């Protein structure tokens, strides 16, 4: 019996954990974004090649595309217009073109769909080798920003290529080591590394070793899980290069993720989605003909979750209603993070440009459940439109404004004198009254002997609603009469001072 109970308890706990996980997961909106890199082998526009490239790219349908080896700004535009925008996958924008001064016919260019925008122009990270590496920065409609290093390391045809690649990898790490945990970055492109264990002669350092070195911040993680031992051509399923040379050797084209992309819920790599398109069996004979016509490299791509940035305080409703001669405001939050509270601001201007703070309501700090708030504006003086907004402030002082709600207060159609509140009182109370037209008004307080003890109002007033504060600090306890006189109308009420 004990074993059965223990098993049932275990199942119940697991059910609760799973339910909590599903609720938390559902609470953050996410979209899947596909990022692709492709060495286009000195692309120049041509009908047969464009057709082959379209047939390769169309089924992949990338949201972000980094093109390597585009020969000029004109050809970069041709690739966008004659290939990407002809795939039927939507319209792509081309990022700012940055000319490679060392090799003007060899450039990296980034393209992206409408869900992205370029946050900043690209910067040249590496200009010492025979290829460029650029830093691209894009912002998604979710609010998430992604930094992409379009990599093209020095090829082995250069003098001392291992040293140059190591220097280039070090240049990237010098940037990523300064990025914070809240920044998401990846590196992709043609790394030209024939062996993951390559090192600079007489040292133990090399390009790939530098990029994945976990001894300091800013390192990269290889999603393919390659251990880095042996010649990369030994991993046949990862080969990407030399289709036109007839060899199909090495794993030149990589996608490397930052730790924040692997472990975070902001921009998150979808495990198992890294793909080398066209490598069906690890041999050149298995590569489809259209891939060979398109380029001497195979493209690589992977999928990422982009999670919408949640608002610190999710305000789901805010409204105001006229109740008698006061306005009741009500609002609701679904979630709260570091919520200090709400300033209630009011404007009687139809444009809402002149705001005053009329109250404050404390927030609930951190909350994952709905919270309800209310505030009553009793200080309505005249008829007209009253505009209200909430200034929500976090514990760190940052703030945000709600939408504006408007309440129409109609001109009173008759005389009215409220019961004072509070009553009994000590020492202050409020008296509200309405008058239907502009006229001379007096509001006075008398004791039970008929002696005047206070003159609260004695002036001409516009039609509207008014509120007056009466301070009885100098009066003894007892019953008093307050009287409103306007033209031929006289209204009286009793109030009690209780000390």
Write the pLDDT tens digit of every residue in 341-394.
999 999 875 444 578 999 999 999 998 889 999 999 988 767 678 899 999 998
Q: Tell me which residue of 183, 97, 115, 107 sits closest to 148, measured CA to CA.
A: 183
- Fold: same for 313-409 and 416-497: yes
Cα torsion at 430, 436, 441, 442 (round to 10°)?
-40
Map 440-468 to HEC letters: EEEEEEECCCCCEEEEEEEEEECCEEEEE
> DSSP code of 398?
-
DSSP 166-203: HHHHHHHHHHHTTS-TT-EEEEEEE---SBTT---TTS
Instruction: From first to last of the 499 residues of the chain, give the pLDDT tens digit.
Output: 444 445 444 444 444 434 433 333 334 578 999 999 999 999 999 999 999 999 999 999 999 999 999 999 999 999 999 999 999 999 999 999 998 887 888 999 999 999 999 999 999 998 766 789 999 999 998 889 999 999 999 998 888 899 999 999 999 999 999 998 779 999 999 999 988 999 998 888 999 999 999 999 999 999 998 877 778 888 888 999 999 988 898 999 999 999 999 887 789 999 999 999 999 888 999 999 999 999 999 999 999 999 887 667 888 899 988 776 688 899 999 989 889 999 999 987 544 457 899 999 999 999 888 999 999 998 876 767 889 999 999 888 888 889 889 888 765 677 888 899 889 999 999 998 888 888 999 999 999 999 999 999 999 998 877 889 999 999 999 999 999 999 889 999 999 999 8
288 token code pair: 């489809």
Whole-angstrom distance, CA of residue 66 vs CA of residue 35: 8
Q: Model pTM?
A: 0.63
Whole-angstrom distance, CA of residue 48 vs CA of residue 165: 34
Whole-angstrom distance, CA of residue 361 vs CA of residue 382: 25
The predicted structure's pLDDT at residue 158: 83
418 token code pair: 């409220």
Q: How far is CA 287 from CA 213, 246, 247, 251, 299, in A?
A: 33, 11, 12, 15, 12
Kindly state the helix (H) or strand (E) to which residue 482 belongs, with its residue range: strand 478-486
CATH 3.30.950.10 fits 24-307, yes or no: no
Whole-angstrom distance, CA of residue 334 vs CA of residue 400: 16
DSSP 410-441: PPPSS-EEPPPBSSSBSSEEEEEEEESSSEEE
The predicted structure's pLDDT at residue 313: 87
> DSSP code of 294?
H
User: Are the beta carbons of 483 and 450 closer than 8 angstroms?
Assistant: no
Q: How far is CA 164 from CA 159, 406, 487, in A?
A: 9, 66, 96
CATH 2.40.110.20 fits 313-409, yes or no: no
Q: How far is CA 469 from CA 373, 381, 383, 458, 472, in A?
A: 26, 13, 20, 14, 10
Give the other-Cβ count within 10 Å of 44's Cβ: 15
The predicted structure's pLDDT at residue 458: 96
Domain boundaries, the chain: 24-307, 313-409, 416-497
The predicted structure's pLDDT at residue 7: 47
Architecture of the domain delimited by 416-497: Sandwich (2.60)
> DSSP code of 404?
-
Whole-angstrom distance, CA of residue 101 vs CA of residue 105: 9
Give the other-Cβ count within 10 Å of 38's Cβ: 28
The predicted structure's pLDDT at residue 5: 42
At 41-55, the pLDDT tens digits run 999 999 999 999 999
Query: Taking the mean position of all CA atoms in its chain, how far away is CA 68?
Result: 30
The predicted structure's pLDDT at residue 17: 39
What lies within 8 Å, CB to CB, of 238 at 6+ separation is: 224, 226, 232, 251, 276, 279
Beta-sheet strands, E only, within 348-427: 356-367, 371-377, 384-394, 399-401, 405-409, 416-417
Kindly state the helix (H) or strand (E) to which residue 5 belongs, with its residue range: helix 2-26
The predicted structure's pLDDT at residue 16: 40
């Amino acid at each position: 019996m004990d074993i059965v109970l223990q098993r049932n308890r275990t199942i119940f706990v697991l059910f609760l954990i799973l339910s909590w996980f599903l609720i938390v997961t559902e609470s953050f909106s996410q979209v899947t974004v596909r990022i692709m890199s492709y060495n286009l082998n000195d692309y120049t526009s041509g009908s047969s090649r464009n057709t082959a490239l379209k047939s390769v790219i169309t089924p992949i349908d990338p949201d972000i595309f980094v093109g390597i080896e585009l020969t000029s700004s004109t050809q970069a535009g041709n690739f966008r217009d004659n290939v990407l925008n002809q795939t039927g996958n939507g319209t792509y924008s081309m990022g700012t073109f940055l000319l490679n001064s060392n090799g003007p016919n060899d450039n990296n260019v980034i393209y992206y769909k409408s869900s992205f925008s370029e946050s900043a122009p690209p910067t040249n990270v590496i200009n010492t080798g025979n290829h460029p590496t650029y830093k691209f920065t894009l912002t998604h409609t979710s609010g998430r920003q992604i930094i992409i290093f379009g990599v093209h390391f020095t090829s082995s045809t250069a003098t001392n290529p291992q040293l140059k690649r190591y220097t280039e990898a070090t240049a990237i790490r010098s940037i990523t080591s300064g990025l914070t945990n809240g920044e998401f970055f990846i590196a992709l492109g043609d790394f030209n590394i024939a062996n993951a264990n390559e090192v600079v002669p007489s040292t133990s350092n090399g390009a790939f070793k530098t990029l994945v070195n976990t001894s300091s911040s800013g390192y990269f993680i290889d999603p393919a899980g390659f251990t880095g031992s042996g010649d990369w051509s030994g991993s046949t399923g990862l080969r990407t290069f030399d289709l036109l040379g007839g060899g199909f050797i090495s794993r030149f084209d990589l996608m490397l993720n930052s730790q924040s992309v692997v472990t975070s819920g902001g921009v998150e790599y979808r495990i198992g989605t890294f793909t080398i398109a066209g490598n069906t069996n690890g041999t050149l004979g298995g590569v489809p003909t259209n891939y060979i016509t398109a380029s001497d490299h195979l493209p690589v791509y992977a999928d990422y979750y982009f999670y919408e940035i949640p608002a610190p305080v999710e305000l789901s409703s805010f409204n105001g209603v006229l109740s008698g001669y006061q306005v009741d405001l009500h609002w609701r939050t679904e979630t709260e993070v570091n919520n200090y509270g709400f300033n209630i601001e009011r404007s009687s201007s139809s444009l809402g440009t002149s705001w005053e703070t009329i109250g404050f309501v404390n927030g609930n700090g951190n909350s994952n459940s709905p919270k309800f708030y209310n505030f009553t504006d009793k200080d309505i003086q005249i008829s007209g439109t009253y505009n209200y907004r909430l200034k929500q402030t976090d514990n760190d002082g940052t703030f945000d404004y709600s939408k504006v709600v408007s309440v129409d207060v109609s001109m009173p159609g008759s005389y009215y004198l409220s019961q004072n509140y509070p009553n009994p009182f000590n020492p202050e109370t409020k008296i509200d009254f309405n008058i239907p037209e502009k006229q001379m008004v007096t509001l006075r307080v008398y004791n039970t002997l008929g002696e005047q003890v206070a003159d609260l109002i004695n002036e001409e007033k516009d039609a509207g609603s008014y509120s007056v504060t009466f301070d009885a600090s100098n009066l003894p306890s007892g019953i008093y009469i307050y009287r409103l006189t306007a033209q031929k109308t006289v209204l009286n009420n009793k109030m009690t001072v209780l000390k």
